[in-house]
Amino acid sequence: MTSRVRSNQRTLRILLALCIGVLPTLRAFAAPAIIPRPPDIAATSYILIDAKTGQVLIEENADEALPPASLTKIMTSYIAIEEIISGRLTLDTPVHISEKAWRMEGSKTFVGVDTMVRAEDLLRGIIIQSGNDASVAIAEHIAGSEEAFADMMNQYAEVMGMQQSFFMNSSGLDTEQYYNTMSARDLSIIARETVNKHKDFYPIYAEREFTYNGITQTNRNSLLFRDRNVDGLKTGWTDAAGYCLVASAERDGMRLISVVMGTASTEARAIETQKLFTYGFRYFETHQLYSEGQVLTNVPVWSGEQSVVDLGVTEDVFVTIPRGQGENLTAAVDVEEAVSAPLVGGQIMGVVNVTLDSDLIYRGDVVAMQDIEQGSLFKRFIDWLTLFFSNLFS
């Protein structure tokens, strides 16, 4: 890595040569390589994102609030897993099955009325079998009633920035009076949280079947049976919602999450999802731009015990770019021109900007990588004189 320095009266800019990757961008990619336009997707709404960075690769009507049908259960299972992680619920906790849960229509886990069922069995019933009865049972256990649980769902959605989501039940089953609403973008948010935050539980989404009460049911996500890269997440269908699918796949170190809503059939939702995955994996890639604790450069320090301080990043930085464009990245670190001691390790010193063909790809803080104490009185006086005459004749 090479660098050159260009300074002005206020800011020191250090240009870095990059040969690595790119991170999430708020704007469209600008790459010299030609990327074909995205495929036409026969769905009311859809989105494709990089699960690592959150970068949106393709979207259409992604913010439209639509009935999600059983995709609702991603939130239901998410809250149940959060309760387990917090210690308020265990996999072995016995859950009472109310008459309301037992009488639920649609897809079922076939739990018995007035029985006790382990929370783990209910969780698998929700995720694998899409059991409406299991969803209501776990909701009632956690919140006291399904209505109270729906309020919890709305609170979680608000915290996660799911702006087009509103829940009235835990199953996604539509009624003549109401139905839940979610957008494709909101579903990508909760799916990404599930993949990245619930790593110990996420493998349940890849299980192809589950047997409860002597009844074996297969996972409704048909891509689990025909694409080895796919390992989740959830299907949904009602008359109002059409055929929906939230799916995730991993290939060569890159994980994508897709959402399709309002397709015409079970086969259509699988085909449209595969089109999204094929496009994403073929034309984009995920790279690690920086590693936690990596030093990017160093700058002079005035009035300090040491004369320079290392600048770096505090966490891993991953980026999404058009495939093969890593060598076209450039980075610049901007810091205040006159850096003076004392400094504390972790103190924000400036920013690093990464660009691809003049488009800003990533902007993040750079910090001091070590403490720098003030130097002796003599050292500070000499540095003050040096700065004074430097500014005088500059």
In angstroms, the CA 281 to CA 230 distance is 12
Instruction: Respond yes or no: is residue 340 known to be catalytic.
Output: no
Q: Amino acid letter at 20?
A: I
Q: DSSP 3-state assignment of 104?
A: coil
Whole-angstrom Cα distance, residue 137 to residue 113?
Answer: 10
Place of tokens 């059409």: 242
CA distance 231 to 228: 8
Is 234 catalytic? The answer is: no
Exactly one of 70, 107, 170, 248 is catalytic; name it.
Answer: 70
Whether the Cβ atoms of residue 122 and residue 138 lie closer than 8 Å to each other: yes
Q: Parallel, antiparallel, or unpaired for β 295-300 and 308-312?
A: antiparallel
Beta strands 242-251 and 230-238 are: antiparallel
Residue ranges of alpha helices (H) inside 160-265 are 184-197
Task: Name the token pair of 182.
Answer: 């979610």
130 is an active site residue:
yes
Give every CB contact of residue 214 below 8 A, 6+ residues apart in sequence. none
Decide: residue 167, CB within 10 A, 0-12 exposed, 13-18 middle, 19+ buried.
buried
The token pair that represents 197 in the structure block? 């935050």
| 8 Å CB contact between 79 and 142 | yes
- In single-letter form, the type of residue at position 189 comes to I
Of 45, 77, 107, 130, catalytic:
130
Phi-psi domain of 386 (left: phi exceeds 0; alpha: psi -120 through 50; beta: other): alpha
Positive or negative, the CA dihedral 200, 202, 205, 208 is: negative
Tokens at 283, concatenated = 């034309």
Q: Which of the residues are catalytic? A: 70, 73, 130
